[in-house]
Chains A and B, each alone.
Chain A
């Protein structure tokens, strides 16, 4: 006889539904019956019969298994709610702590998800890479590559599907049509293949041709509305800056996704730019993005790069330098190669920095998530401590339940239910809280985060899951502790049985809370120390009372008139016209000293300044002199800084000459060093001082005009400057910034980190102190009688306060000792980001310890005082 088995799935269901004790016998019966039916009536009948059985038994299963546990949970719920209401103060402490902790974590989770979701909207996001170049011994990485590279790569590498070159309009510029003109910031150049690489929806226009021809431009929807209102902009013309030839509008794209690492309002065809046809392999001018074909491996592509570079750049190098490229590469410091950066890494990556990107800060993301987790943990510890401290109140209930047949597992379930109820009610408050502070948080993080529970299917279940986890973590220790009482001793009244180990655990948890709080607090101090240090460090130049007027090139030949008008005012102390300024972008350019071989060119960071620059910014000269208006030969003079002198290995810098042009060397065309300025921190303090060269900008009208104003006259003078500007330029928009602000903006990330630390350290300490407050109140209540007796025997109020606060003091001091090394190493690492950094003063540790102790004592002293002042007659009568 063949043995026909029922399907596994039905067997599984039956064994699950079935009554546990007799499972095998019943399964055996079923199988035998099934087999019999199978023999007699065929497989279909047998199967039908089996499934009918399963279906029919469902209702009683539900009744048996589920309803019973629901009844139990109903009871847990009732007891939990009664307890919550009965001990209002204690519930309030827990709920406040939980809701603050949860609100922080949810906000930070929103922030982090947003940071991580950059560029993911591109359909091919996982296959897009940016090609960059890396140089030298330390493999310095940049994100720029040469103009012909994209096309050569498409030709040479079959694994590349598409490639696009992009670049950025270098500065703010006026865009105008026949009747409107605005200053625009976000203009990018791109090849027409941009549509094959990135997901940029075109509303009007043909993706194949829109960016093909020179002088074509695409607008985003909102820009189209800004310039043309309801009219159709297609085929109309826009002028950018002072260019003579206008651009024709060939398409409208959707507004740029705020989560794209490059932002644009206009896209200009790259073919417009002369440079895009260049075949020079050494000019790093474009961002190049490639799409890899599915299943191709980027690391294997990278292996082919050195060969690729030699093939294309080698001949050019030979022709230019008269030297084989291979020879050149033998020197490690001439190392040169390409590298691939995955698109989705660009936003948070620290390498390959460029001006195109909206930069995220991975450090910030880490710090935030760690801090959020810790704050939540502090709130959980409050719950643990307060519920275990109050164990005497619950021990009778536990004993009773055990006597009536409750198993330990059920008790654990009950206590965890209680903490989950607390965390769920905190969730509601947290959600309200988040909605209230989200606008502020958005302003601070410069994001547009939205918190809407109905937004997508994940948020609500996610929140519930999160809350359950929080509740379970908080409830775990109390549940195990409280359910461990033996009913006999509890009901006999011997509840102190496990007090010793419990108190120790509670102390450890308090120390843990305060350790975390103190670490964050020390972090706050160090960040602010560094910020103050950067503000006060001797930059080597004057930064006060200087207004920068941007785009002064718009004045054209009227610049001199503008300058004179300003200088006529009593309040204006000086006017200087420069290309670039300290704290702004300096161009690294190759310079070659006269008489040295071409291969020995050196990179100096270049700016153009006029003869007023040194005086206005108070630059100190260590040798020679600065440009003078009266010496005509100064047009071909340069000034370098001390670092440059050292870098070039000069002993007598004055009178040394550089070839005037950066790349090519026309004999007899030189600039001469006439002075050496003392080193200034012309870049951010994250960087070491670099070799700098100032070229004379006397013959050009440069972009920035610095105006030094007498202190106290800033506002009036500013409106005067604006009037003059409008008078002279007509309709050019007036743009200005304060130099001081510009410099401070270099440290925006640090300031953000500082404020985050402040807020979170305050929250952490607040929540930890809430817990202390609960503990001390409870403690004082427990010791009412003791205090009464002590007072009758003559103890002073101060003695009793001491008695109650001694423990906390010791715990906080222990926390400070544990926290200090952690904080020291953490902040020491953070400070390594700066070339110029403050040292961590030991006083910081002492003062944070004292500050925390002070806050903790303030928290408890009120309760202690109340307990100590109580009339002993009353307290001894109590009970």
Chain B
């Protein structure tokens, strides 16, 4: 099943990611073995409540691949897709580190801010 794996070499240190990139990165992690474009899109759309177009998923995926935070491989052909491959994404070590970093940065930023003070009437 893991033929055609694109082995990405560990790239430079993590840079700050844009929000869509971050969300998609997370989504890939959540979906694990089923992380290809369609479920990623529907998951992100569902959680954010906005309709994400295919293009708005492809572009971040491409950028993340370039930054070597994710890798991908082609799955076997599936009949329901007209006999075509899926491109399945997975997190690289850098990707995983990046998620952890984001989480850290985020929680540090939130540290000491009570959420209820942000609520408006």
Contacts and interface: CB of A to CB of B under 8 A. Distances in A.
Interface of A: 1, 3, 5, 22, 24-33, 35-36, 53, 56-57
Contact of B38 (A3, A29, A57): A29
Contact of B87 (A22, A30, A31, A35): A22
B17 interface: no
Nearest to A35: B80
A208 B13 CA distance: 97
B110 to A, nearest CB: 36
Nearest to B82: A31
Contacts of B36: 25, 29
20 contacts: A22-B87, A24-B84, A24-B85, A25-B36, A25-B37, A25-B86, A25-B87, A28-B78, A28-B84, A29-B36, A29-B37, A29-B54, A29-B86, A32-B80, A33-B41, A33-B54, A35-B80, A53-B55, A56-B55, A57-B55
Given A29-B38, A31-B82, A56-B55, 17 more contacts: A24-B74, A24-B84, A25-B84, A25-B85, A27-B84, A28-B78, A28-B82, A28-B85, A29-B36, A29-B81, A29-B86, A29-B87, A31-B81, A32-B80, A33-B38, A35-B80, A36-B38
A477 B80 CA distance: 51
B41 to A, nearest CB: 8
B86 A3 contact: no
Contacts of B58: 26
Contact of A30 (B54, B74, B80, B86): B54
A757 B78 CA distance: 71
Nearest to A3: B80
Contacts of A57: 55
A25 B74 contact: yes
Interface in B36-84: 36-38, 41, 54-55, 58, 74, 78, 80-82, 84
A29 B87 CA distance: 9
B54 A31 contact: no
Given A25-B74, A29-B36, A29-B38, A53 B54 contact: yes
A27 B83 CA distance: 10
Given A29-B54, A30-B54, A53-B54, A5 B82 contact: yes
Contacts of A25: 36-37, 74, 84-87
A212 to B, nearest CB: 73
Contacts of B86: 25, 28-29
A162 to B, nearest CB: 60
Contacts of A33: 38, 41, 54
A32 B38 contact: yes
Contacts of A56: 55
Contacts, number: 47
Given A25-B74, A29-B37, A29-B54, A3 B82 contact: yes
A833 B72 CA distance: 79
Contacts of B54: 29-30, 33, 53
A32 B81 contact: yes
Interface string B79-99: 011101111000000000000
Contacts of A3: 80, 82
Interface residues of B, number: 16
Nearest to A1: B80
A364 B15 CA distance: 79
A31 B80 CA distance: 9
Contacts of B37: 25, 29
Nearest to A27: B84
B78 to A, nearest CB: 8
Q: Indicate the member of A1, A27, A29 with the most B CB atoms within 10 Å.
A: A29
B58 to A, nearest CB: 8
Contacts of B41: 33
A596 to B, nearest CB: 93
B37 to A, nearest CB: 4
Nearest to B78: A28
A22 B38 CA distance: 15
Nearest to A25: B87
A194 B74 CA distance: 76
Nearest to A29: B37
A31 B37 CA distance: 12
A36 B81 CA distance: 11
B60 to A, nearest CB: 15
Contacts of A30: 54
A346 B74 CA distance: 69
A30 B54 CA distance: 8
Contacts of B74: 24-25
Please name the 10 residue pairs, one residue from A and one from B, whose CB atoms are nearest each other, closest first: A28-B84, A25-B87, A28-B81, A29-B37, A24-B84, A31-B82, A32-B38, A32-B81, A24-B85, A25-B85
Contacts of B82: 3, 5, 27-28, 31
Contacts of A22: 87
A30 B86 CA distance: 11
Nearest to A11: B82
Contacts of A32: 38, 80-81
A24 B85 CA distance: 6
Contacts of B84: 24-25, 27-28, 31
Nearest to A56: B55
A31 B82 CA distance: 8
A686 B41 CA distance: 88
A766 B27 CA distance: 77
A27 B77 CA distance: 12
A263 B38 CA distance: 77
A436 to B, nearest CB: 59
Contacts of B80: 1, 3, 32, 35
Which of A24, A30, A35: most chain B Cβ within 10 A?
Answer: A24
B1 to A, nearest CB: 16
Of the listed residues B41, B84, B86, B87, the one surrounded by the most CB atoms of chain A closer than 10 A to its CB is B84
Contacts of A28: 78, 81-82, 84-86
Contacts of B81: 28-29, 31-32
A36 B45 CA distance: 15
Nearest to B75: A25
A501 to B, nearest CB: 45
B53 to A, nearest CB: 8
Contacts of A1: 80
Contacts of A27: 82, 84
A24 to B, nearest CB: 5
Contacts of A36: 38
B2 to A, nearest CB: 16
Nearest to A36: B38
A414 to B, nearest CB: 32
Contacts of A24: 74, 84-85
A58 to B, nearest CB: 13
A36 B38 CA distance: 10
A159 B45 CA distance: 75
A55 to B, nearest CB: 12
Contacts of A5: 82
A30 B37 CA distance: 10
B31 to A, nearest CB: 14
A327 B41 CA distance: 96
Nearest to B58: A26
A7 B58 CA distance: 23
A32 B41 CA distance: 12
Nearest to A6: B82
